[in-house]
Amino acid sequence: MNGTDSRIEHVLQTAAQLAAEHEFRAAIEYLARENRQAGQAVFERQMLNYAIEGFAAASHGEISWGLEHDNRFADTQGLPEIEAADLDAQALRSGILGKGGLIVRGLMDAERVVATRTLIDQALKARKAISEGGDPDHYQRQFARPEMVSGGPVQFGTLGGNQYTNSGSVWAVDSPQAAFAMQEFYRSVGLPELLQAYFGEPASLSVRKWVLRCVPPNNGAESGWHQDGQFMGEDIRTVNLWVSLTDCGEGAEAPGIDILADSNREIYPTGTHGAPFDWTVGQGVVDELAERCAVERPHFRPGDAVFFDHYNLHRTGFGTADVNHRYAVESWFFANSLAPAKQQPLLF
């Protein structure tokens, strides 16, 4: 065993001892410190394993929560917008609960945007290479599922069976180095503290709704309007963070998001009013809602973000003359006390 191998073994043993004592956060923080010095696939996978195991082992008492907010965006037409420096829990509450969402400009810096796009490309290329017979051991940081993750991987970007392209979507946990980089980003912008203040309790992150995306142009296409509460249920408290890594949306040349600035906390009927699928909301319903709330396709610059929750009605917004792929990271967070087990929450 060489020096590097012995160091890795020592780090893993130390982290395992902390986890055995149910000090899962300490184990994760220790592995994160070591990983910053020299990134290792086994450290990154084990952090995710401990995050899943740690959430399952903890007790999460239910916390009372109200819909009060300071209504600071009452006079805003459509989704309100703020700069990253102005983001706090009250702005988030007023945006989501008062208007249906909040756009935050410049949440991710330019250097991290470029790095994150590269990580998404690496994950998608690794998935494709493995599906074509490549050695999985060569891609342990780019695409390798942690042992504690259950369920089938995201299949968007498949040609059928196990054939993949270099676009589509993958679970962040299936790309350990990307997952670690995103966790570092969340910490850098104070997201754990922000969400704890918003929910009144700590937040968890969903394995199944934490997704790296590279959406190709599909000019003239229409995707399905949907609310994530239709799939996850209503007896939850959520915040979704969608970060654009591409110039996209209105006036740009990459697909964006069509979104309703709707504060109504209701799950709308699906499969009616001309809906293309039984899980989508029909355009007729959207047209009726548009009589009282704005339907937008915001313009996002790289690093801009939008926050909303499971009541928000939205869809991928395809243009008619797009030429660029749209890169983004989507991250769904839950109030710990109401995190649905089927979404496989992890410590955050």
The helix/strand/coil state of 152 is coil
pLDDT in tens, 208-249: 999 999 999 999 988 899 999 998 988 899 999 999 999 999
In a domain, 32, yes or no: no
In a domain, 14, yes or no: no
Do the Cβ atoms of 344 and 206 come closer than 8 Å?
yes
Query: Which region holds residue 111: left if phi is over 0, alpha if psi is between -120 and 50, else beta?
Result: alpha
Instruction: Estimate to the nearest angstrom the gap between the alpha carbon of 347 and the chain centroid.
Output: 14
Task: Tally the domains of the chain.
Answer: 1
In a domain, 326, yes or no: yes
pLDDT lower than 70: segments of the chain: 1-3, 152-162
Instruction: Quote the CA–CA distance of 182 and 176 in Å, as a whole number.
Output: 10
CB within 8 Å of 21: residues ≥ 6 apart = none
Model pLDDT, residue 160: 52
Model pLDDT, residue 162: 62
Task: Report angle CA 117, 185, 66 to the nearest 5 degrees.
Answer: 120
Packing angle, helices 3-20 and 24-37, rounded to 10:
160
Report the run of H or E that residue 197 belongs to, with start and end: helix 191-199
In a domain, 137, yes or no: yes
In a domain, 29, yes or no: no
Are β-strands 295-296 and 299-300 bridged in parallel, bridged antiparallel, or unpaired? unpaired
Residue 239 is part of which domain span?
64-347
Model pLDDT, residue 203: 97
Residue with tokens 């967070």: 333
In a domain, 343, yes or no: yes
pLDDT in tens, 171-205: 999 999 999 999 999 999 999 999 999 999 999 99
Model pLDDT, residue 161: 55
In a domain, 2, yes or no: no
In a domain, 8, yes or no: no
pLDDT in tens, 118-138: 999 999 999 999 999 999 999
Model pLDDT, residue 234: 81
Task: Say which CATH number the domain at 105 has.
Answer: 2.60.120.620
Instruction: Quote the CA–CA distance of 99 and 268 in Å, as a whole number.
Output: 17
